[in-house]
Structure formats: structure tokens, C-alpha cells
Amino acid sequence: MTSTPWPAEGWRKSSYSADAPDNACVELARTPDASILLRESDEPHTVIATTPATLRAFARAVKAGRFDHVSR
């Protein structure tokens, strides 16, 4: 048995996610060293680690529309 580098519990998601199809959403967790972990709820084994400062900068850029030109 191997351990995972991310917590099995403590993941949080927005209350707005309840309206998402299949309840799919981005979940966040904080590690003991204050890193922020992100994952897609329907892909829980794929985890991205970042710092609070980087996540804040990303959120500001999204709110400012800096990624609106990116196509799906």
C-alpha cells in the first residue's frame, strides 16, 4: 500500500458547484506546508499543487478577462 501526497479529506468546493452538470467542479485543499491543491471532482487522482500567491494571481487574471480569448 502506498500513500498519496494529498489529503483524503478536507477538500472544499464552491456552493455554486451544486448546479454544475453531474456536480462536477474544482475542489481545493490546503496542505500542512500551506500549499494549495486543486483537482477536478470527477478526476480526483489528478492533483495540481500551487501556492496561495500564485492562485490569487490566477484568480485576478481570470476576473480581469485575461483568458477570455482562449478557445475550448
| Segment holding 11, helix H or strand E | none
Please measure the distance between the N-terminal and C-terminal CA atoms of the chain and give it in whole angstroms.
38
Where are the domains positioned within the chain?
24-63
Helices and strands (DSSP H and E) totals, the chain: 1, 3
Q: Name the band, by pLDDT with cuts 50, 70 and 90, for residue 2.
A: very low
Residue 35 is placed in which grid cell?
A: 500549499
Over the stretch 38-59, which tens digit does the pLDDT of each residue have?
A: 998 888 889 999 999 999 999 9
CA distance 24 to 13: 10
Report pTM. Answer: 0.72
Q: 23, 38 in Cβ contact below 8 A?
A: no
